[in-house]
């Protein structure tokens, strides 16, 4: 593991790296004389948030009365190494983010068998079979663990919560390569699999188009190349994917293709960290007798500054921007064609956040969002888009525990 001169940020990255290691099946080889049961690890986490908004709803009826408590995450993961080159890892996740209480039914977040073909001082190379977490940007593989997130909500322009299932994980095969270079390390991740669609994905993607259903189409691919400098002061990555889904509308069937590219950069110092990510998102829906065909390219980006007050307190400020269609940045053409309000096609979010970690296993966080636009507003919480407000404010408070 690379050790940074920045204690706090290296500690945060170590937490994220350890979680990602379990999620991706990467771990240091066990000693040959170690009993497999000695390698058993069990960890868990729980997060509960209160969400309040002045207009619109986010994760439940947040604009009513005292807000919404319908943002809960509970996870339990286990890993076991039956052989020094083989790791078995899985995690169950119960997550409710608005919607019906049945949405909190525990599901397999990831579950895989990892075989390391090579592991030495120079490189680590392995293959995974099963449900693996997609290497997407800086935070996707650990996004459900509050302790690894810089804020209660990740930048919604890139890490959409309303359509998280499509980016979260895939069922198939994944390979990884960590190569040590003179100035740091190079990490390559690539996967081929069927993406998760989730029960509500079709409504989130195609709101207002009847009652469509969605399922995994052809195998989708995802890949990431990441460079980390030897002192962890500088990290850069590029991620790309090609996702194909089959869609069924009452009128006919179609194919939805999603091709995102993400460039990620982070610079760390002892007391502060600066992070930025930029994405181009190509989307197309093609078919016969469907409500509409389209082919659009949108863009997303954010810039985030985190600052340590001391080892227990930190704060951040972030500006996050989403454009759904680069050729209709204001959304006026979208509205003129009767597809919905113009402000549903963009969102600019100014965020201020504060975190307090009184104990390594306890974290309290609060944050404020001032948002112009509803481009990432969940449809399930706002079924009538014409009733939404363009400018709105949101406050979140969260308690997180882990073991």
> The tokens of 356 are what?
């307090």
* pLDDT of 9 higher than 70: no
The structure tokens 């690379």 sit at 2
| Of 316, 298, 214, nearest in space to 256 by CA | 214
* Spatial contact of 16 and 25, defined as CB atoms under 8 Å apart: no
Instruction: Classify residue 98 as left (phi > 0), alpha (psi -120 to 50) or beta.
Output: left
- Residues facing 206 on adjacent strands: none
Beta bridge partners of 266: 235, 275
Q: What is the pLDDT of residue 137?
A: 94
The answer, yes or no, to whether residue 13 has pLDDT greater than 70, is no
Q: What is the pLDDT of residues 286-324, one digit of tens each?
A: 888 777 788 999 999 999 999 999 999 999 999 999 999
DSSP secondary-structure letter at 196? P
**Mean pLDDT, residues 89-116:** 89
Q: 204 and 380 in contact (C-beta within 8 Å)? A: yes
How far is the C-alpha of 128 from the C-alpha of 26, rounded, in Å? Answer: 10
Q: Which residue has the tokens 């995994």?
A: 216
Evaluate if residue 271 carries a pLDDT over 70: yes
Query: DSSP code of 38?
Result: G
How far apart, in whole angstroms, are the C-alpha atoms of residue 43 and residue 112?
16
pLDDT band at 245 (very low <50, low <70, confident <90, very high): confident
pLDDT of residue 289: 79
H/E element holding 12?
Answer: helix 7-24
Mean pLDDT over 80-97 rounds to 94
Residue 135 has what pLDDT? 93
Tell me which of 3-7, 248-252, 306-310 is least confident: 3-7
Is residue 210 scored above 80 in pLDDT?
A: no
Would you state the pLDDT for residue 5?
34
- For 3-12, 81-90, 227-236, 288-297, which range has the lowest pLDDT when averaged over its residues? 3-12
CA nearest neighbour of 11 among 308, 367, 318:
308
| DSSP structure class, residue 197 | -
Whole-number average pLDDT of the chain: 87
pLDDT at 212 over 70: no
| End-to-end Cα separation, the chain, in angstroms | 22
pLDDT exceeding 70 applies to what percent of the chain?
86
Element (H, E) at 332: helix 332-336
d(CA 266, CA 264): 7
Distance CA 34, CA 31 (A): 5
Average pLDDT over residues 130-143: 93
- Residue 33: per-residue pLDDT: 59
Element (H, E) at 302: strand 294-308
Confidence band (pLDDT; 50, 70, 90) for 37? Answer: confident
- From the CB of residue 5, how many other CB atoms can be counted at a distance below 10 Å? 12
DSSP designation for 293: -
Q: Which of 281, 188, 283, 285 is nearest to 238 (CA)?
A: 188
Closest CA to 130 of 106, 142, 113, 116: 113
pLDDT at 2: 32
Phi–psi pair at 183, nearest 5 degrees: -105, 0
298 touches 326 (CB < 8 A): yes
Residue 247 has pLDDT above 90, yes or no: no
Indicate the pLDDT class of residue 355, thresholds 50, 70 and 90.
very high
How far apart CA 23 and CA 142 sit, in angstroms, is: 8
The 10 Å Cβ neighbour count of residue 378 is 25
- Evaluate whether 35 touches 264 at the Cβ level (below 8 Å): no
Q: Which helix (H) or strand (E) holds 173?
A: strand 169-181
Would you state the pLDDT for residue 215? 65
- Predicted pLDDT at 203: 60
Q: How many CB atoms lie within 10 A of CB 349?
A: 22
The whole-model pTM stands at 0.88
Residue 10 has pLDDT above 50, yes or no: no
Ramachandran bin of 65, using left for φ above 0, alpha for ψ from -120 to 50, beta for the remaining angles = left
Quick one: pLDDT band at residue 207, thresholds 50, 70, 90? low
């Amino acid at each position: 593991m690379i050790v940074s001169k920045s204690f706090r940020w290296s500690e945060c990255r170590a937490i994220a790296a350890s979680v990602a290691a379990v999620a991706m099946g990467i771990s240091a080889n066990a000693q040959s004389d170690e009993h497999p049961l000695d390698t058993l690890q069990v960890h868990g986490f729980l997060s509960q948030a209160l969400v309040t908004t002045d207009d619109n709803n986010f994760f439940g009826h947040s604009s009513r009365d005292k807000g919404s408590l319908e943002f809960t995450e509970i996870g339990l993961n286990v890993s076991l190494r039956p052989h020094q080159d083989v790791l078995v890892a899985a995690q169950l996740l119960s997550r409710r983010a608005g919607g019906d209480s049945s949405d909190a039914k525990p599901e397999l977040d990831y579950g895989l068998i990892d075989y390391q073909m090579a592991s030495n001082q120079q490189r680590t190379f392995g293959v995974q079979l099963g449900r693996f977490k997609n290497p997407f940007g800086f935070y996707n593989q650990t996004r459900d663990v509050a302790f690894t997130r810089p804020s209660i909500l990740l930048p919604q322009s890139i890490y959409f919560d309303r359509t998280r299932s499509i980016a979260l994980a895939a069922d198939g095969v994944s390979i990884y390569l960590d190569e040590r270079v003179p100035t740091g390390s190079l990490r390559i991740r690539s996967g081929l699999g069927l993406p998760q669609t989730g029960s509500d994905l079709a409504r989130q993607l195609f709101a207002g188009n009847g009652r469509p259903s969605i399922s995994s189409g052809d195998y989708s691919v995802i890949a990431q190349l990441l460079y980390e400098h030897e002192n962890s002061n500088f990290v850069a990555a590029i991620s790309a994917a090609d996702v194909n889904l089959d869609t069924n509308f009452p009128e006919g069937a179609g194919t939805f293709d999603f091709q995102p590219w993400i460039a990620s950069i982070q610079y760390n110092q002892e007391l502060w960290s600066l992070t930025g990510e930029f994405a181009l998102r190509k989307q197309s829906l093609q078919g016969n007798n469907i409500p509409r065909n389209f082919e659009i390219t949108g863009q997303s980006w954010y810039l985030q500054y985190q600052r340590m007050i001391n080892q227990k307190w930190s704060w951040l400020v972030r500006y996050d921007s989403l454009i759904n269609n680069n050729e209709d940045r204001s959304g006026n053409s979208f509205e003129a064609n009767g597809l919905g309000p113009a402000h549903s096609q963009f969102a600019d979010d100014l965020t201020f956040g504060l975190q307090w970690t009184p104990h390594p296993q306890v974290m309290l966080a609060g944050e404020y969002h001032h948002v112009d636009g509803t481009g990432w507003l969940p449809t399930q919480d706002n079924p009538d888009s014409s009733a939404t407000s363009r400018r709105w404010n949101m406050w979140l408070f969260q308690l997180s525990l882990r073991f």
